[in-house]
Structure 1
């Protein structure tokens, strides 16, 4: 198979457009970059439509790619499809999983309020999946979960956890209707260590600078904070997420 060698190729130009959220939303597609992430996508209930390989690179024999198109490209063309400084020679074009309504039924949930940094967002998703969280709700203002930086930061966790965009006030109401305790995060709250682990909970995490919106804090059953013992003003939101999620789930 002759590799695609022109960056003006129609398919390459179409795939490059997936760097933009508007095109991802319109097409329902997103890009997955790197050998590990492509392998994780193939293992998950994700439709991997095309795997783009740099010429000379092969698909590992154990991968199940019977229904996946393989396209070879030159190194220059692969660079055009890559958002990293050192591409691994493999990019997949995937369909965004069909979003299913998360059922708030005595589980563990994370609600994200206006978290804009893709690295933080990806790290939170990775932690939430590792901790067995049932669903992550993206409120208004959050970065797109299919942004390339978010996808890479999740290290594949995105493919194994339920995510949904939803008004957070509505999500809090649904939690309360199902007797799920809702915890906000605020400097005026209680020290998190004073709260016992919970069989079920919803944790609201807020914007890196502004924190959780005051209306949501008012609706929470209790607001928590993590003490700062040094000179730093605050913790990174993804670090705070890890501390609080694992404390609340116990074990």
Structure 2
């Protein structure tokens, strides 16, 4: 059992709470029983599991994964949650860039981890094929993003890249790219994407960059009947994805 927070392994694990070390090591942390179970189910590469001395054994098979036990006070230094469950894992970042075919989301410069995590979770639930994010979107392996996905991050491809290049590539394949704006004349309810489509969403405060807005195929709005000017971007994403999904189901 590791009893000191100054232990070299503990120090290296703690560094993964910072983006620059995550990128350098191509590793990230997940915390909690549910996320570990989801990572194992998705066959995410797990380097090691870290268990607090006070934590009960996991209620599922962990195979031959290495388990490092630490004192409760040491685990507290590694935890980023208010009520730690006593388990975390060091995971490998995916190294391959998957081909995404089907309905996709594109996220341009989103900065709120909770929004990005919620969008990933909703997209996976709605059966989207994958998500592209701009390089200035919040780090996907931020602890708050991962927790907000509730494990969905392990079940849907999420790829960072140049969205302008990705938009042109999608359009070359005949895939229409839709964006949103509060005052667009066309309601999303009047659009019926029967084949694969791409939905482009912009930053919470500034919206979509003009460079991307100018190359999308169509801009749609979500009707608002109260005095609120706009919807939260994660809520808007959910409305659009499920709205178009329901349209398809009705057409079958």
- Cα offsets for 1:110-138 (capped at 9, x unmatched): 00000010000000000111111111001
- 2:155 counterpart of 1:160: yes
Change (3 A) 1:202 1:53: same
Residues 26 and 93 in structure 2, CA contact (< 8 A), matched pair in contact too: yes
Unaligned runs of 5+ in 1: none
Please identify runs of 4+ aligned residues in structure 1 that moved more than 6 A.
none
* TM-superposed deviation, 1:249: 2.8
- What secondary structure does 1:76 align onto? helix
Paired position in structure 1 for 2:97: 100
Paired position in structure 2 for 1:78: 75
Q: Normalised by the size of structure 1, how large is the TM-score?
A: 0.94
Paired position in structure 2 for 1:21: 19
Query: Which residue among 46, 54, 59 is the counterpart of 2:57?
Result: 59
Paired position in structure 2 for 1:247: 243
CA distance in structure 2 between the aligned counterparts of 1:72 and 1:177, rounded to whole angstroms: 52
Output the aligned Cα RMSD: 1.3
Paired position in structure 2 for 1:173: 168
Residues 110 and 202 in structure 1, CA contact (< 8 A), matched pair in contact too: yes
Unaligned runs of 5+ in 2: none
Change (3 A) 1:201 1:89: same
Paired position in structure 2 for 1:144: 139
Change (3 A) 1:49 1:41: same
| 187-196 or 6-15, which deviates more | 187-196
Change (3 A) 1:169 1:108: same
CA distance in structure 1 between the aligned counterparts of 2:122 and 2:59, rounded to whole angstroms: 31
Residues 120 and 238 in structure 1, CA contact (< 8 A), matched pair in contact too: yes
* TM-superposed deviation, 1:197: 4.1
